[in-house]
Each structure stands twice: as C-alpha cells, then as structure tokens.
Structure 1
C-alpha cells in the first residue's frame, strides 16, 4: 500500500471519545524527548482534562540530535532535553510525577537482548504500579530505528500482558514519500478531536527549543524539526492505529 493511500485511509478513521479508544490509565511511550508532544500531545492534554492523567515514559536520552556540538556534549544535551520534556508536559497539564525517563542511548534503543529485557521489566513494573490498561507506542513504519524499537517494546508488553490495549501514533511516518510502498494491510484505528488543546500542544512542542534550532549554535548540521512535520502534527485530529 502506498503512503498516500494509507494517509487517505487514516482520514477515514472514526472520531471517537478518549474513553472508548483508550480505557483506563494510559502509558505513553515516547522514543525521544519531543515525540510525546508531537504525536500525542492532544491525547495527553485530553486525558489530564478528563481526570485520568497518563504516565509518560521517555525511552531514549535524546543525546544524539547534535553530534557535532562541542558546547553541548551528550550528557549536557540529555539533561537539557529532560528539562524540555518537563516543560512540555507541564504545558499539557501533566504533573512531574507522571513523567519518567528510561535514559537509553539515542539511536541505539535495543530491539532485543539483555538491555531490552531490562527495559520491559521496568515498563511492566510501571504498568502494574499505575494499573495501566492502554499503551501508546510509535507507528511501526516511522522511519527511525528508535521508533521501531519502542513499537517492538509495545508488542512485547502485549505478549506478556494480553489484556493491554496497544495503540500506535504516527510521527515521521506521515512525512514518508507519497509513492513509497509499505507492507501492511489497511489498519483499523481512531481519530481523537484535539482542537480544544491545539494551543497547549503548540506550546508543548515549542518547549523543545533544542530541537527547533534555538539552543545549539555550534552544530550547523544538527537536527531541526522540519516545518513539514510540524504542519502535520498540528492538525485538529490525532491518529491512533490499532496495533
């Protein structure tokens, strides 16, 4: 199926309520500090407003976005990106106790092995402690290895806790070339109306200043969120794919 056809298909997803789509407390898994704001900032704000704030876990440390910087080496950049996430989630109404960091290496989130198993053990503990019934993960076709790894984590959680509902939110997959083919049958899913929270979502995205080219000045080739992605993320509806 071509990406352009998949995007048309996504637009046909029924609009539904948070309660129907994501029962109970939700665990949001974000590959990097900013994916939580980009892909499901409206979801988070909605859940907070409805009195059941999610638990947000940032999986990687985000330290690889500016590898050429001398003034912002990995440890310093990782610390900054944690603070940006705190400010972003504050803009969405989430309290600090609902935000956690796994601290895995950016661009090297494991897909198997000992470190993967340790991460799953940690996530299962969070699921149990907060009685999570729904887990949000990135879309499997987001073109980034860390997004794929976190999607795999979601599948492992489902295998170990079959009662969990796993939903996927697309980020970078929405920017794939229109003619690119992906190997997947048309999925089912829902759209969540986030128009009420677009200003909060915009504020949350703005909090990730390092990713908007506003902090690191000595790495001209460092990462900057492209306008094309921001346009797709700030839409009236967020997408959630049944996984």
Structure 2
C-alpha cells in the first residue's frame, strides 16, 4: 500500500481530475474530499457514474424502476453540487444496469469507452479517481476495467487513483496516491509520467 499524501503536497495538485464512480453515492463516499478540493481550485474535469441506480432498492414495476433511477440521479446531482459549491459540475451517467456490467469488448462496453475518451479529451484530464482492480463488487471491478481502456488526451498517458470503498475509506485529511493502471491479464494503458 502506498502512503497517502495530501493533494496540495503532491505532484498531482495541478492535475485535472475525473471521478469515475460505479454507483451514485460512491463519488461522495469515496472521493468527496477530492471533488471539493479540485472543484475549489478549478481542477475537477467531471464526475462520471457507471450505473443507473436501479438495483439499489427493489423495483416491482418498470415505473418504480424509472422513479428510482430519477431519484438516484437527483441525489448524485445534489451531492456533487454541494461538494463543488455549485460550480456547475453535473455528473454524467453511463446507465449500466446495477450488478450487470458489460463485458469488455462488447458493443456497450466500447460505447462507454468512447464516452469516457471523449470526456478525457474534451476536458484535458490528467488523472482519474476510480475503484481498484480486484474489488469484489462486479460494478466496482467494471469501473476499474473501464478506466484502463482510453488514453488521456494530451500525452496519451494518464494516472489513476484508487477510490477507497467500505472499510478502506481514508482518515480525515488523507488524500490519494496515483499509480499506473495495472489490470491482471491486460497490458497497461496508462503509463507513468515524469512526475511520478
């Protein structure tokens, strides 16, 4: 495990960050401090949420499912607005069904890679905060796989930081230690930079 360094004292303090969260609420629980800090310094490129939220509660009818999706989106928008001080950062949703991730290589997975790559390019993202490879929840693992696909726009390289989840949540004042993407069985797509 790499020791955490306060973002203000790291080589990544001026990076443009994207948060890629598996579910609405993971962006807040896992990276709320990063979102607030980078938004305050105009270094937050965006927040992207993988799933639609439809599996967070039982939905006996399609109408119930639609209502739940709208509610989860509204909660995420509200949380991000509070964390960013109303800086007009609106979460983007990839709308995967909860606990039903797309297989790498499928048309839906490739479409999500294109959406992520477009956001990386459009907002000149230097670093991605997302879940770690090896997370036990299938949506968390899917986020990790997805982040390894596109290249960052300016250098063809980017760094990522593992988003803490559950028992791995950081202590107050802790920050992130970006590292290169290493997914078992796949070649690294995010290479080290001179700053690392």
Give matches, 1:47-196, under 5 Å.
47-67=38-58, 73-93=64-84, 95-112=87-104, 113-158=106-151, 162-172=156-166, 174=168
Q: Secondary structure at the match of 2:94?
A: strand
Is the contact between residue 134 and residue 166 of structure 1 (CA under 8 Å) also seen in structure 2? yes
Secondary structure in structure 1 of the residue aligned to 2:127: strand
Answer yes or no: is the 8 Å Cα contact 2:81–2:89 preserved in 1. Answer: no
Which residue of 2 is the match for residue 46 of structure 1? 37
Q: CA deviation at 1:127?
A: 0.9
Q: Which runs of 5+ in 1 are unaligned?
A: 1-8, 175-231
Structure 1 residues 234 and 50 mapped into 2: Cα distance closer, same or farther (>3 Å)? same
Structure-2 residue corresponding to 1:224? none
Q: Output the CA distance in 2 between the equivalents of 1:66 and 1:104.
A: 16
Q: CA deviation at 1:35?
A: 0.5
1:219 maps to none
* Structure 2: 5+ residue stretches without partners: 182-196
1 or 2 for the larger relative contact order (CA 8 Å, sep ≥6)? 1
Structure exhibiting the larger radius of gyration computed from Cα positions: 1
The 2-side partners of 1:234 and 1:85 are apart by 23
Cα 1:149–1:159, aligned 2, differ >3 Å: closer, same or farther?
Answer: farther
Q: Which secondary structure does the structure 2 equivalent of 1:20 belong to?
A: coil
Instruction: Using structure 2 for the length normalisation, give the TM-score.
Output: 0.78
Deviations 1:58-102 (A, max 9, x none): 110011011266698221111100000011011102534442111
Count residues with an aligned counterpart.
177
Of 165, 174, 192, the match for 1:237: 174
